[in-house]
Amino acid sequence: MNLNARLNLFKRFIYLSALLFHFGNGLVAGGKTENLILITLDGLRYQELFGGLDLGVLKATTKDKNITGTKSYKQFWDNSPQVRREKLMPFFWGKWMKDHGSVAGNPKKGSSVRLSNRLHFSYPGYSEILTGQARDDLITSNKKVLNPNPTVLEFIRDKLNLKQNEVAAFASWDVIGFAVQHEAGAIFANSGYEAYVHPSPDIQRLSQLQFEMLTPWDTVRHDEVTFKFAMAHLKSYRPRVLYLSLGETDDWAHDKRYDRVLSAISRFDSFFNELWGWLQSDSQYNNKTTILITTDHGRGDIPLNWHSHSAQIKDSKNTWLAVVSPDSLLRGEWGDGAPVVMNQIAATLCKFIGLDYSEQNPKAGKPIIQLFE
């Protein structure tokens, strides 16, 4: 072998090694993400997210049919779906999706995000998100039982060797405290009507107040309380992984209170604004945090069944997913492309932080590759 041939062989070796290093473990080389925030908005329909106020639903829920006289119409209606959705979520559309992130799941653009579980209610949806796999054989109800499988939150805590309160979940619905972990206490969880111990007197007072200012539901506290606890925890204990699970959109919908569904969505947008403002101001989180926002299921599409969701109700399997990340260059709405499946979320979160989720669950969905292109 002459010198040139040896040099070529050497070059090929270097190239192949680099290729193997880059793609072999499927991880992001040189990613900026050091922190993860997962946010779920229970049963928030893609119809409202992408189109704002749905006039068909407003008609169906306004007793005297005088829709133009309703507060919801005055506050959120416009002929243009783009303007409508910005009225409902001005920060999400006007700032986040414009300058910092992207959102998949608008069928009108040819984008699809869907559940792989066939049950289309909450626990199966949360479990699919948190474990990366639908287990319709194991999860058949919303009962308060620990997740039958280890979750991505437990995996990340273990792999990064984090303290318990550095992987924290705050939820308005009590069942989430069980769904987030396979082993009790594996991560820090505060859910439903549950006291939160924190040094701030304001937070202590709020923790007491949650038991006095009750919602119409025994198992779901106000999202306002959940959000404030999560923000206090973020500032004091600096978690590397935070899961914020908000729920009022689902419960008001089941109660057919469309006006309250819209108000709840509008509040979520204010939460995002506040969260983002704080993250931007903090050196641990600024430009080092990936935020993934999604929902556990869709719900009906027509005025008769918009309030509900099940295996029998068309559109219950259709969801959406938004990502704000210093490691993803996509902006705005996704168009045509391969459908995204909700069982890919766990592996996607891991990939952002440089971990390979297939180590824990080889059967889990693979990372959503479009986010890393």
Shortest gap between Cβ of 216 and Zn ion (angstroms)?
16
Listing DSSP states for 102-122 in one string gives EEE--GGGT--EE-SSSS-SH
Strand pairing partners for 41? 246
Asked whether the beta carbons of 88 and 262 are under 8 A apart, the reply is: yes
Which residue is associated with the tokens 């919602």? 215
Given the complex with Zn ion, which of 129 and 206 has the nearer CB atom? Answer: 129
Given the complex with Zn ion, which of 35 and 117 has the nearer CB atom? Answer: 117
Closest CA to 326 of 151, 161, 99: 99
Given the complex with Zn ion, which of 61 and 249 has the nearer CB atom? Answer: 249
Q: Pairing between strand 289-294 and 321-324? A: antiparallel
Shortest gap between Cβ of 242 and Zn ion (angstroms)?
20
Given the complex with Zn ion, which of 286 and 312 has the nearer CB atom? Answer: 312
Shortest gap between Cβ of 42 and Zn ion (angstroms)?
4
Binding positions for Zn ion, rule: CB under 5 A: 42-43, 122, 250, 296
By Cβ distance, which residue is nearest to Zn ion?
122
Given the complex with Zn ion, which of 122 and 190 has the nearer CB atom? Answer: 122
Helix, strand, coil shares, percent, the chain, to 5: 45, 10, 45
Please tell me the distance from the alpha carbon of residue 168 to that of residue 145, in angstroms, as a whole number: 19
Asked whether the beta carbons of 264 and 217 are under 8 A apart, the reply is: no
Shortest gap between Cβ of 40 and Zn ion (angstroms)?
9
Shortest gap between Cβ of 309 and Zn ion (angstroms)?
7
Shortest gap between Cβ of 43 and Zn ion (angstroms)?
4
Listing DSSP states for 211-274 in one string gives TTS--SSSSB--HHHHHHHHHHHHHHH--SEEEEEE-HHHHHHHTT-HHHHHHHHHHHHHHHHH
Helices (H) and strands (E) in the chain, counts: 14, 11
Q: Which amino acid is at 281?
A: S
Shortest gap between Cβ of 295 and Zn ion (angstroms)?
8
Given the complex with Zn ion, which of 220 and 349 has the nearer CB atom? Answer: 220
Shortest gap between Cβ of 106 and Zn ion (angstroms)?
20
Given the complex with Zn ion, which of 58 and 115 has the nearer CB atom? Answer: 115
What number of other Cβ atoms are within 10 A of residue 86's Cβ? Answer: 17
Given the complex with Zn ion, which of 122 and 325 has the nearer CB atom? Answer: 122
Asked whether the beta carbons of 59 and 65 are under 8 A apart, the reply is: yes
